[in-house]
Amino acid sequence: MSDPLTAAPQAGALATWLAAPVPASRAQAQAQQFWRAAWRLRYNISALFGLGIILLLLLVAFFAPLIATHDIYAQDLASRLQRPSFSHYFGTDELGRDIFSRVIFGSRITLYIALLTAAIAAPLGLVVGTAAGYLGGWIDIVLMRIVDVFLAFPSLILALAFVAALGPGIENSVIAISLASWPPIARLARAETLTIRTSDYVAAARLQGASSWQIIWSDIVPMCIPSVIVRITLNMAAIILTAAGLGFLGLGAQPPSPEWGAMLSTGREFMLTNWWIAAVPGCSILVASLAFNLFGDGLRDILDPRHG
C-alpha cells in the first residue's frame, strides 16, 4: 500500500505540509499521524459502515424537528396502536403518539447521554491513570485500589446504585454512568504510562527540570490519548445500553420523554399483539450500539502503533 503522504498531490501548501518528511512541530507531526490514520481507515469497510451510521445518527438528531412528522407529545387515542403506514411510518403507541417522530427525537437523548458521559469519563480516567502510573508509590496504590472497588461491580449494577442515590433523570443518569465508566479507562492509561515513563524523552524532560505534572500533561497524556479514544469509542455501546437499561427500569429519562429505553419499557406490554412498539426502539438501540462497536474496532486497528 502506498504512503498517503507521498501519494498526496504536491500542489498546494497543505499537501506539501502534510507530506514533509520531517515534521517541524508537534502540531505538524500530529496532523501527519491523523492523515495517515484517516488514509488507512478508508480500507476498513466495517469501520466506515459504523462511521456512516454514527454520522447519520448525528444528522438525524440535529435535524430532528425537520424530519419528525408529528408532535412527539400529542396524544390521539382514536389512532392508538395503529400498524406502520404512510401516515405513521413506524405505527403509533398505546397513546396514539407517532413512534417514528419519537424515535427521531429519542436519538437526541441517547447521543446526549453517550457523548456527555464520554466527555466526563475519558478525561477522569485519563488523569487518574496517568497520575497513578507515573507518580507510583502510595498514590498508585490508593488510586488503583479505588479503581478495583469500582471494577468489582458490573457497570449496570453500579450505575443503578448511583442513580438510585441521586434520583431519576437524564443528568443523574449521565453522572451515574460516568462514575461506572471511568475505571477501565484509568487502568488502561496506567498501563500505557508504565511503558512511556521509561522512555528517553521523558528522562530528558526530567533532566531539564520539568516537574512531574508538567511531564504528565506534556509528554505522557498526549501519548495515551489514542488508546483512550479507542477504548471510550468501544465503550459507547455499553454506555448506550446502560442508559437504555436505566430508562427501561424507570430510573433514566422520565415519561413522556421519548428515550429509547423508556419506549422499550412501555412497548414490552404489547409485544405479542403490537410488536412494533417495542421493536422500533429496540432496533434503534441495536443499530447505534453496533455502529460504535464497528467504528471502535476500526480505530483500534488504525491507531495501533504496530500498524504505523
- pLDDT at position 55: 95
Q: pLDDT tens digits, residue range 36-57?
A: 766 777 777 888 899 999 999 9
Of 163-172, 194-203, 272-281, the least confident:
194-203
pLDDT digits (tens, 9 = 90+) for 211-260: 888 888 888 888 888 888 888 988 899 999 999 999 888 888 888 889 99
HSE of 251, CA atoms in CB hemisphere, 13 A: 23
* Angstrom distances, CA of residue 110 to CA of 1, 11, 63: 39, 43, 15
Q: CB neighbours (10 Å) of residue 286?
A: 13
CATH architecture of the domain covering 53-307: Orthogonal Bundle (1.10)
Contacts of 43 (CB under 8 A, 6+ apart): 1
Band (13; pLDDT cuts 50, 70, 90): confident
Q: Confidence band (pLDDT; 50, 70, 90) for 15?
A: low
Q: Is a pLDDT exceeding 50 seen at residue 307?
A: no
Q: How far is CA 156 from the centre of its chain?
A: 16
* Mean pLDDT (whole number) for 156-166: 88
Residue-range domain boundaries for the chain: 53-307
pLDDT of 208? 84
Quote the pTM value: 0.83
pLDDT digits (tens, 9 = 90+) for 113-151: 999 999 999 999 999 999 999 888 899 899 999 999 998
Beta bridge partners of 92: 98
